[in-house]
Amino acid sequence: MADLLSVAKRAGVSRATAARAFSSPDLVRPATREKIFNAAQELAFRPNKVAQQLRSQATQMIGVMVPSLDNPVFAEQLQAMEVAARDSGYSLIVTTSEYSPSREGNIVEEMLRQRVDGLVLTVADASNSDVLDKLRMENIPCLLVYNPPGTSGFTSIGVDNLAAGADATRHLIALGHERIGMIAGPLLQSDRAQQRYEGYCQAMKSAGFLPHQLVEMARHTQADLASLKPALQGFQSFSAVICTNDLLAISLIGELQRAGFAVPGDLSVMGFDGIALGQYLYPSLCTIEQPRADIGRTAVHTLLAMIRGESCTTAPLPHALRKGESTGIPASRKSNTGTTQRSTL
Amino acid sequence: MADLLSVAKRAGVSRATAARAFSSPDLVRPATREKIFNAAQELAFRPNKVAQQLRSQATQMIGVMVPSLDNPVFAEQLQAMEVAARDSGYSLIVTTSEYSPSREGNIVEEMLRQRVDGLVLTVADASNSDVLDKLRMENIPCLLVYNPPGTSGFTSIGVDNLAAGADATRHLIALGHERIGMIAGPLLQSDRAQQRYEGYCQAMKSAGFLPHQLVEMARHTQADLASLKPALQGFQSFSAVICTNDLLAISLIGELQRAGFAVPGDLSVMGFDGIALGQYLYPSLCTIEQPRADIGRTAVHTLLAMIRGESCTTAPLPHALRKGESTGIPASRKSNTGTTQRSTL
DNA sequence: TTGTACGCGTTATCAA
DNA sequence: TTGATAACGCGTACAA
A29-66 pLDDT, tens digit each: 999 999 999 999 999 999 999 999 999 999 999 999 99
> To the nearest whole percent, how much of chain A has pLDDT over 90?
85
For chain B, counts of helices (H) and of strands (E): 12, 11
Structural domain includes residue B172: yes
Asked if B230 and B87 sit in the same domain, the reply is no
Cα–Cα distance measured from residue A222 to residue A45, given in angstroms and rounded to the nearest whole number: 51
Sheet architecture: strand order including A268-273: A215-216, A180-184, A240-243, A268-273, A286-289, A320-322
User: Highest mean pLDDT range out of A186-190, A332-336, B282-286?
Assistant: B282-286
pLDDT along chain B (345 residues), means of 10: 96 97 96 97 98 98 97 97 98 96 97 98 93 95 94 94 98 97 82 94 98 91 87 85 96 96 96 97 98 98 97 92 97 55 40
In this structure, the protein residues whose CB atom falls closer than 7 angstroms to any atom of nucleic acid strand D are A 13-17, 20, 27-29, 31-33, 51, 54-55, 57; B 1, 3-5, 15-16, 19-20, 22-24, 45, 47-48, 51-52, 54-56
Q: Is the preceding omega at residue A47 within 30 degrees of 0, hence cis?
A: no
Is residue A345, in this structure, part of any structural domain at all?
A: no
Query: Which residues of chain B make contact with A269, given a CB cutoff of 8 A?
Result: none
Query: Cβ within 7 Å of strand C: which of B 35-54?
Result: 51, 54
Asked if A258 lies within 8 A of B282 by C-beta distance, the reply is yes
Maximum Cα interatomic distance, chain A, rounded to a whole number of Å: 92
Residue A151 lies in a domain: yes
CA distance B22 to B16: 10
Q: In sequence order, what are the beta bridge partners of B270?
A: B242, B286
Are residues B76 and A69, on separate chains, in Cβ contact within 8 Å?
yes
Q: Give the pLDDT of residue A336.
A: 47
**Cβ contact, residue pair B257, A282, below 8 Å:** yes
Structure confidence at residue B334 (pLDDT): 56
pLDDT digits (tens, 9 = 90+) for A204-245: 999 999 999 999 998 888 888 888 888 888 777 999 999 999
Residue A156's nearest CA partner among A337, A302, A325 is A302
Report field, pTM of the whole predicted structure over 0.85: yes
A87 and A29 in one domain?
no
CA A101 to CA A298: how far, in whole Å? 26
Please list, in sequence order, all residues whose beta carbon lies within 8 angstroms of the beta carbon of residue A300, skipping any fewer than 6 positions away: A62, A81, A84, A85, A88, A90, A120
Identify the CATH number of the domain in which residue A20 sits: 1.10.260.40
B282/A112 touch (CB, cutoff 8 Å), yes or no: no
Q: Are residues A152 and A296 in the same domain?
A: yes
Q: Which of A51, A68, A75 sits opposite B54 (nearest CB)?
A: A51
Is residue A174 domain-resident? yes
- Mean pLDDT across the stretch A262-285? 97
| Banded model confidence at residue A334, pLDDT cuts 50, 70, 90 | low
Inside any domain, residue A342: no
Q: Which residues of A27-63 are buried (b: 16+ CB within 10 A; e: fewer)?
A: ebeeebbebbbebbeebebeebbbebbbeeeebbbbb
CA distances from B83 to A96, B64, B73, B146, B298 (A): 7, 14, 16, 19, 12
Among chain B residues, CA nearest to A139 = B1
Tally of domains in chain A:
3
Q: Is residue A20 part of a domain?
A: yes
Q: B28: which nucleotide lies closest, measuring CA to C1'?
A: C1
- In the predicted structure, residue A333 carries a pLDDT above the cut 80: no
**At a CB cut-off of 8 Å and minimum separation 6, what does A26 contact?**
none
**How do strand A142-145 and strand B215-216 relate by DSSP bridges?**
unpaired
Q: For the stretch B244-267, what's the b/e string if a residue is b when 16 or more beta carbons lie within 10 angstroms of its beta carbon?
A: bbbbbbbbbbbbbbbbebbbbbbb
- Shared domain for B168 and B267, answered yes or no, is yes
User: What is the spatial distance between Cα B340 and Cα A2, in angstroms, rounded to a whole number?
Assistant: 70
**Is the Cβ pair B254, A54 closer than 8 Å?**
no
| Nucleotide in closest CA–C1' contact with A20 | C11
Write down the pLDDT at residue A339. Answer: 45
Contact B267, B241 (CB under 8 A): yes
Question: How far away is chain B from the Cα of A115, in angstroms, using its nearest Cα?
Answer: 7
Kindly identify which residue of chain A lies nearest to residue B46, measuring between CA atoms: A113
Rounded to a whole number of angstroms, the distance from the CA of B303 to the nearest CA of chain A is 18
Structure confidence by residue, pLDDT tens digits, A93-149: 999 999 899 999 999 999 999 999 999 999 989 999 999 999 999 999 999 999 998
Residue A187 above 70 pLDDT?
A: no
**Same domain membership, residue B329 and residue B229:** yes
How many CB pairs lie under 8 A apart between chains A and B? Answer: 137
List chain B residues with CB under 8 Å of A78.
Answer: 69, 94
Chain Cα centroid distance, residue A239: 30
Q: In whole angstroms, what is the distance from residue B206 CA to residue A260 CA?
A: 40
Whole-angstrom Cα distance, residue B189 to residue B167?
A: 21
Q: Which domain holds residue B108?
A: 58-157+292-318
Comparison of pLDDT for A344 and B98, the residue scoring more = B98
Cα gap B76→B294, rounded to integer Å: 10
Claim to verify: residue A151 and residue A197 sit in the same structural domain: no
- What is the DSSP secondary-structure string of A22-40? HH-GGGS-HHHHHHHHHHH
| Nucleotide with the nearest C1' to B15 CA | C3
Asked whether residue B304 is domain-assigned, the answer is: yes
For residue B107, the domain's CATH number is: 3.40.50.2300
Rounded to the nearest angstrom, the gap between the alpha carbon of residue A91 and the centroid of all alpha carbons in its chain is 18
Separation CA B219–CA B98 (nearest Å) = 13
Are residues A214 and A328 both part of a single domain? yes
Name, in order, each residue with C-beta under 8 angstroms of B77's C-beta and a sequence gap of 6 or more.
B66, B145, B292, B293, B295, B296, B299
Same domain? For B166 and B148 the reply is no
A73 and A39 in a common domain: no
DSSP lists the bridge partners of residue A157 as A145
Reduce the DSSP state of residue B318 to 3 states and report it: coil
Say which nucleotide is closest to residue B23, CA to C1' distance: D11
Whether residue B330 sits in one domain with residue B225? yes
Q: Is B345 within a domain?
A: no
pLDDT at B345: 38
A153 with A173, same domain?
no
Q: Which of B274, B264, B256 lies closest to B176, judged by CA?
A: B264
Same domain assignment for residues B86 and B110: yes
Average pLDDT of chain A, as a whole number: 93
